[in-house]
Amino acid sequence: MSPDLHGSSWGALPGGQQLRHDLELSLAYWWPRIFGYHLLQLGPLSADFDSSKCAVKHQFSIYPECGASLRGEYCQLPVKSASIDAVAMHLLLESEQDPYRILREVDRVLVSGGYLIISGINPFSSAYLGKLLPKYQQRWPWNGNFFMPARVRDWLGLLGYQLVHDERLCYHAFMSDWDFPLLLRQWQHHWLPGTGAVYLLVARKLEAPLTPLTNRQRKRVSGWQPAATAGYSGRMKRE
């Protein structure tokens, strides 16, 4: 894991403080609806996030750098299985080589019915321009991988999650010399809502109940019964 792939603070991204504010406003609806004992904040950006309105009181962070509540790798969380009620991860998947592996590890520690909050860069937006300009290609977050929200939703579906919220935020290019006028961003938000620079997904872990099958006994019929055949059981017409 390369440190230069990760953003250590919202201020490292042009418009990042406004993005954090927009995310906090959107999540203000969900925090009182998430209950449990433990909220895990993955990554420094998730740790530097106002989740004080969350009903879960014990909140702690995990990431490899100093400053985390627990230092650890995202693919090997130092947490026992099925012990976390909610996980928040902001702008994290873009910086990882195997994002699906992280989601599987998060799925391991989440309890059934737990919530997973993910935000990431939407490649179908003006934020993708940084990947085309040499000036920004080696900077965070453009030096990482941008995943379509539909792909992230597919990963969550494979893991058995129910998507309860899907939103686009922040119509911003995140480049100081490519900042679009406010009127243009408002027009984009009104007419092209799917092109927001950041996607926000809230999903809930579901598990199908294991219903024991009843012991079905074959009904015995008195009298002679023909034996079942593997082939065609109809009448044959002889020549």
For the chain, domain boundaries:
3-205
- Joined together, the tokens standing for residue 222 give 């008195």
Q: Confirm or reject CATH 3.90.1150.10 for domain 3-205, answering yes or no.
A: no
Q: State mean pLDDT over 107-122.
A: 97
H runs (alpha helix) in the chain: 16-27, 44-47, 99-109, 134-137, 149-158, 182-191
Predicted local confidence at residue 35, as pLDDT: 94
Q: State mean pLDDT over 175-183.
A: 62
Share of the chain above pLDDT 90, in %: 61
- Quick one: pLDDT band at residue 217, thresholds 50, 70, 90? low
Q: pTM, whole model, 2 decimals?
A: 0.81
Predicted local confidence at residue 99, as pLDDT: 95
Predicted local confidence at residue 1, as pLDDT: 39
> CB count, 10 Å around CB of 159?
17
Q: State mean pLDDT over 104-122.
A: 97
- Joined together, the tokens standing for residue 187 give 């027009």
Q: Kindly report which listed range (59-63, 96-100, 105-109, 233-237) carries the lowest average pLDDT score.
A: 233-237
φ, ψ at 130 (rounded to 5°): -65, -25
- Tens digits of residue pLDDT in 115-169: 999 999 999 988 898 899 898 999 999 999 999 999 999 999 999 999 999 999 9
In angstroms, how far is the first alpha carbon of the chain from the final one? 77
- Quick one: pLDDT band at residue 220, thresholds 50, 70, 90? low
- Joined together, the tokens standing for residue 173 give 């290019």
- Tens digits of residue pLDDT in 1-31: 334 456 678 988 888 898 999 999 999 999 9
